[in-house]
A = this chain, B = another copy of it.
Amino acid sequence: MAGKKTQTPGSLRVVPLGGLGEIGKNMLILETANDILVIDAGVLFPAVEMMGVDVVIPNITYLQERADKVRAILVTHGHEDHIGALPYVLRGLPVPVYAPRMAAEIVRDRLREYVRGGEGELHSIKAGDRVTFGDFEAEWFHVCHSLPDSMGIAIRTPLGPVIHTGDFKVDNDPMIGQPFDYGRVTRIAEDGALLLFSDSTYAEEEGYSGSDRSVADSLFKLIGDCRGRVFVASFASQVARIQIVIDSAAAHGRKVALAGRSMTKIARIARELGHLDVPENLLISPAEANSLPDHRVIFMVTGSQGEPSSALVRLSRNDHQEVRVKRGDTFIISASPIPGNETAVYSTENDLVRLGARVLHSKSHLVHVHGHAQREELRTLLNLTHPRYFVPVHGEYRMLKAHADLAADHGVPEENIFTLVDGDVLELSGEGGNVVDHVPAGHIYVHGLGEWDENVAVLDERRALSNDGIVTIVIPRSSATGRLAGLPKITSSGFVSREEAGQLFADTVEEIQFQLDRLGTQKLDWDQMDSTIRGTVERFLHKRTRRRPLIVPVSIEV
C-alpha cells in the first residue's frame, strides 16, 4: 500500500502528487477520514533527457488504493499542466470531473478523442458554484491567468476553509475574462483561511507581472508600423493575445488568418463561450490571406516555443504548406522561451532572419507578459487570506522556497509553512501540522501505448544508446562442442560510420577468435562465452575508438 501510516483521526491530509518541485503535472490531494478531493491532473512536458517520451503524468497509486474515497477531480483551468493527464487518470480512476466551462470544453474534446466510452461524468461549473463532496464543499472563484475562465477553488473542510489559487495573477482590467475576485476571496477567508495553496511560478520575481493591456498597446503600435505582412506567434491557448491581434487587425485594416490546429480549436471554443470578440469577416484562411496585399494580413501562428511541428517552425524552414516567408515580413514572437526551449526558439528566429524577415521578441520589445503572480501580487493574496498554514505550490524547489520565505516575512509562523515536494504527506490538525509520510509520486513516462515508472531501465538505455550507440555480436555456437560454429557477425548503430565499420569489425572478429582460442579447447557454457566476448569487444573497441557502445552478444545454437 502506498503510504505506511494511517491517517490521524480528525486530521486533514494534504498530498501533492505533482507540481511541487517541478513545473507541470499539477495534482494535489485533500483527504479526510471519509473523503478525498483531487485538484487538477496535469502533464509535464518531457525534458530533453526524457528521450522519446510523449508526456509525463502523475503516479496515482495512492489514489487508486483509496479509490472508494475519491469523490471528484476539481479543475482550476484548462492548461495542459492542469488537465492534460485526465485521459490517463480517468482510465485508471473513473471519477467525476468538475471544471470551469472553458476548461470543461477543452477536456470534453480531449476525452472524446482518447477515452473509450467518451467523457464520463464531466461537470461544467461557473464562478460562485458550490458543490458538496462528503466532508468538503468547493466553491470556484475568478482569478486572472493567460487562459479565460481560470479559477481558484475555496474548499470548506471540517478544519476550516482552504484556498487554492490555481495559476493566477492579479489584473484589475484584463483583456478578456473577469478581474481577480478580491471580494469573494476576502469573504471566504473572513476569519482567516486555514490553509493557502498559492502559485509559486514567479515567486522569485519582485513587483507585479503587469497587464495584458500594456501588451495590447505595444502590439497595436508595432503592427501599425508594419508595411508588409505580420506574423504573431503565441501559445494556442493565449486567447487574450488572439483578441489583441484581432483588435489591432480591425483597427489597421488587416484580416487575421489563424494557422495551427490547436489555435483554431481554442479560438473556436473561446468564441462559443463569448471570450473572444471577432468582427464579422475578419477571420480568413491562410489561403485567402495569400490572395490579399501584404499590408492587409496578419497571420497568428503557434510555435512560440520552437516546437518542431508548429506553424512557426515550418515557416522558418520554408516548409509550410501554404505560406512562404519573404523579405518585408515581420514576425512578432509574443511569448518568452520556457526554460529548456531557448535554443529551439533562437534557432527558429535565426532561420526567419536568414529568410529576410524581421523578428521582434520579448527581449527587444514589449510583446508579452506572463500569466503568473509576482511577489507583490503574492503578498496581496497573503494579505487577503491571512492563512494559518501555508503551502507554496506550482514550482521548482527554489521558487517554492522563495514563496515560503515571502510568507514568513509576511507573518505566517515558520512552523506553519510547509515547503512540500511531490509525495510528502502533510497532516493538519487543531494543534499544528506535520509531514508524516512520503508516498510514491514520481514520474510516469508515457510513450505511445506504454507507461513506465522511474524504475524501468528504458530511458537509461536510450541515454546510453544516444551517447555511444550499440554493437550487436551474433555468435553461432555449436551445441555439441560449446564453441563457435562459424564466424561471429557484428552489426552496429549510432557507433561508427559505414566506412569505418568494415575493417573495424573484421578486426574485432579476429580478436574474438583469438581470445576464445586462448581459453583452450574445453566446452564453454553460454554465459562464459557471452561474457568473454562482451569483455573482449568492449576492451578492443574502446582501445580503437575511445568510445563505449552498448555491447550485446546474442548466441544462437546451430
What is the interface of chain A, defined by CB distance below 8 A to chain B?
21, 47-48, 51-52, 204, 339-340, 342-343, 346-347, 349-351, 353-354, 359, 363-364, 396-398, 401, 447-450, 452, 456-459, 461-470, 472, 474, 476, 485-486, 489, 491, 493-498, 500, 544-547, 550, 552, 554, 556-558
Contacts and interface: CB of A to CB of B under 8 A. Distances in A.
Contacts of A474: 474, 554, 556
18 contacts: A51-B466, A51-B467, A339-B342, A353-B397, A353-B398, A359-B398, A447-B547, A448-B547, A449-B546, A450-B496, A458-B494, A458-B495, A458-B496, A464-B493, A474-B556, A489-B554, A493-B552, A558-B558
Contact of A556 (B456, B486, B496): B486
A457 B51 contact: no
Nearest to A462: B494
Contacts of A469: 52, 458, 461-462, 465
Contact of A342 (B340, B452, B458): B340
A466 B458 contact: no
Nearest to A488: B556
Nearest to A473: B554
Contact of A339 (B52, B346, B353, B498): B346
Contacts of A494: 51-52, 458-459, 461-462, 464-465
A547 B474 CA distance: 25
Contacts of A351: 397
Contact of A468 (B52, B485, B500): B52
What are the nearest 4 A-B pairs in CB distance? A448-B546, A466-B466, A52-B467, A461-B494
Contacts of A500: 450
A366 to B, nearest CB: 14
A467 B50 CA distance: 9
A466 B47 contact: no
Contacts of A486: 556-558
Given A463-B466, A486-B557, A489-B554, 13 more contacts: A47-B343, A51-B466, A204-B363, A342-B342, A350-B396, A350-B398, A448-B547, A452-B497, A462-B466, A465-B469, A476-B558, A485-B558, A493-B550
A470 B461 CA distance: 10
A90 B465 CA distance: 32
B554 A491 contact: yes
Nearest to A363: B204
A449 B544 contact: yes
A472 B550 CA distance: 13
A16 to B, nearest CB: 15
Contacts of A556: 474, 476, 486, 489, 556, 558
Given A52-B467, A339-B346, A547-B447, A472 B491 contact: yes
Max count, chain B CB within 10 A of own CB: residue among A350, A498, A546: A350
Nearest to A350: B397
A418 to B, nearest CB: 14
Nearest to A493: B461
Contacts of A493: 461, 464-465, 470, 550, 552
Nearest to A499: B456
A404 to B, nearest CB: 10
Given A449-B544, A550-B493, A498 B397 contact: no
A222 to B, nearest CB: 17
A465 B464 CA distance: 10
Contacts of A466: 51-52, 462-463, 465-466
A458 B499 CA distance: 11
Contacts of A398: 346, 349-350, 353, 359
Contact of A465 (B204, B470, B489): B470
Max count, chain B CB within 10 A of own CB: residue among A47, A52, A464, A498: A52
Contacts of A497: 450, 452, 456-458
A527 to B, nearest CB: 16
A533 to B, nearest CB: 14
A468 B354 CA distance: 33
Given A52-B468, A450-B496, A343 B340 contact: yes
A397 B496 contact: no
A465 B558 CA distance: 30
Contacts of A449: 544-547
A345 B313 CA distance: 26
